[in-house]
């Protein structure tokens, strides 16, 4: 099933938090008594599966996340719990469902990813968790960006930022504002893109201390530098883009192999746009070293993009060898 921009826009009208919260307050009956131990189990499984996916790509272990969601967590959602535990359970499940959506998207299953993100948004709203709801909307916005749905990407990214008005985590705010900057840049709105990127930078510079337990609160300075670099590249500022990608790789560091591989692929493309052929080839060699064994549509797309650009460099020393290596990733 292809992801639909109309489906995303319709989802913005849901849920009605007051109506949905009645289900949390009134939950009774069921076969299983659920406590904070089950909630902790969901969070631990989400972390473990998320760590593996971030390192090796969404194509690894997605079936485990889906099976755990359907075989275990769904039983607990149909169980009995206090209102406080119910809110925590819905919040933890929203994170797990979001992870399943991210894994599906990274595997290339856009339709499933979209449905998971919308479901995560509903669960987070039921739990009264503005940050989790905003993060689910961010997932939908990024998907719209990747699919080229420009107006939808801007609309959902704006709603994401609006949803986060109650959020006070600087990392999370940087995360959402950078998404709006990216969507606006895709749409050709330089003013909004520049203003949102500046706001995102202010937020990430204010981030102090260790990340929290949520998806958005792990948005690092290195990840921000990568995203900012690609926004600048979209706006035509290739020197600025290269500087930010250098910061992402060398200054702030990236602790996930999948992320580092994607940044290296992007760096090669940015260097080539500046006629730095040797620099591009060096980045692409390192990209292939790093990408080996990662199962991600982002990696596959980066390989396709790189090989298309290498065609222009046929005859250049080293280009043929890189192209041959890249063929193994197809």
Q: Is the pLDDT of residue 176 over 60?
A: yes
Residue of higher predicted confidence among 27 and 160: 160
Angle in degrees, CA 101, 216, 132, rounded to 5: 65
Which residue carries 């500022």 as its tokens?
237
Please check whether residue 293 is in contact with residue 56, taking contact to mean a CB–CB distance below 8 angstroms.
Answer: yes
**What pLDDT shows up at residue 20?**
41
Domain coordinates in residue numbering, the chain: 1-128, 135-219, 251-330
Please say whether the structural domain 135-219 has been given the CATH code 1.25.40: yes
- CB burial of 115-142 (b: ≥16 within 10 Å; e: otherwise) equals bbbbbbbbbbbbbbbbbbbbbbbbbbbb
Q: Please give the pLDDT value at position 252.
A: 72
Question: In Å, how far are 75, 285, 286 from 312, measured between CA atoms?
Answer: 55, 17, 20
Residue 251 above 80 pLDDT? no
The runs of H, that is alpha helices, within the chain are: 5-11, 17-26, 36-56, 62-68, 74-77, 83-107, 110-127, 130-147, 150-163, 170-186, 190-206, 221-234, 238-246, 257-273, 277-291, 297-311, 319-327
> What gap in Å lies between CA 306 and CA 321, rounded to an integer?
13
pTM > 0.75: yes
More confident of the two residues 217 and 318: 318
Place 1 in a pLDDT band, splitting at 50, 70 and 90. very low
Least confident residue range of 47-51, 141-145, 273-277, 282-286:
47-51
Residue 191 has pLDDT above 90, yes or no: yes
Look at residue 19 in the predicted model and tell me its pLDDT: 44
CA 55 to chain centre: 13
Range name among 2-16, 128-142, 150-164, 236-250 with the lowest pLDDT average: 2-16
pLDDT of residue 58: 85
| Residue pLDDT, tens place only, 101-128 | 999 999 989 999 999 999 999 999 989 9
State mean pLDDT over 14-41.
Answer: 63
Per-residue pLDDT reduced to its tens digit, 252-282? 767 788 999 999 999 999 999 999 999 999 9
Omega before residue 15 within 30° of 0, cis: yes
Inform me whether the pLDDT recorded for 233 exceeds 90: yes
Cα distances from 252 to residues 19, 35, 129, 225, in angstroms, run 44, 40, 30, 8
Confidence tier at 208 by pLDDT (50, 70, 90) = confident
Looking at residue 13, its pLDDT comes to 54
Rounded to 5°, the CA angle 286-211-232 comes to 50
């Amino acid at each position: 099933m292809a992801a639909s921009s109309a489906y995303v826009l319709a989802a913005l009208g849901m849920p009605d938090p007051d109506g949905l919260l009645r289900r949390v307050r009134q939950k009774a009956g069921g076969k299983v008594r659920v406590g904070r131990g089950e909630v902790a189990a969901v969070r631990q499984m989400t972390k473990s599966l998320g760590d593996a996916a971030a390192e090796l790509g969404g194509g690894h272990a997605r079936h485990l996340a889906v099976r755990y969601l359907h075989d275990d967590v769904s039983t607990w959602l149909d169980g009995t719990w206090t209102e406080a535990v119910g809110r925590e359970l819905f919040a933890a499940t929203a994170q797990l469902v979001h992870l399943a959506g991210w894994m599906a998207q990274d595997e290339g299953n856009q339709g499933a990813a979209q449905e998971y993100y919308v479901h995560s948004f509903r669960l987070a709203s039921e739990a009264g968790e503005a940050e989790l709801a905003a993060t689910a909307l961010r997932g939908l916005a990024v998907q719209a960006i990747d699919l080229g749905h420009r107006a939808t990407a801007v609309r959902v990214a704006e709603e994401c930022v609006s949803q986060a008005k109650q959020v006070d985590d600087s990392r999370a705010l940087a995360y959402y504002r950078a998404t709006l900057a990216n969507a606006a840049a895709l749409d050709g709105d330089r003013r909004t893109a520049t203003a949102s990127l500046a706001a995102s930078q202010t937020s990430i510079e204010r981030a102090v201390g260790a990340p929290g337990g949520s998806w958005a609160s792990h948005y690092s300075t290195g990840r921000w530098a990568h995203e900012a670099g690609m926004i600048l590249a979209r706006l035509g500022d290739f020197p600025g883009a290269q500087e930010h990608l250098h910061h992402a790789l060398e200054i702030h560091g990236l602790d996930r192999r999948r992320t580092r591989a994607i940044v290296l692929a992007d760096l090669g493309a940015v260097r080539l746009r500046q006629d730095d052929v040797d620099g591009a080839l060096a980045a692409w060699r390192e990209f292939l070293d790093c990408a080996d064994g990662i199962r991600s549509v982002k990696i596959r797309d980066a390989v396709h993009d790189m090989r298309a650009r290498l065609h222009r460099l046929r005859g250049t020393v080293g280009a043929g060898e890189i192209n041959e290596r890249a063929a193994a990733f197809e």
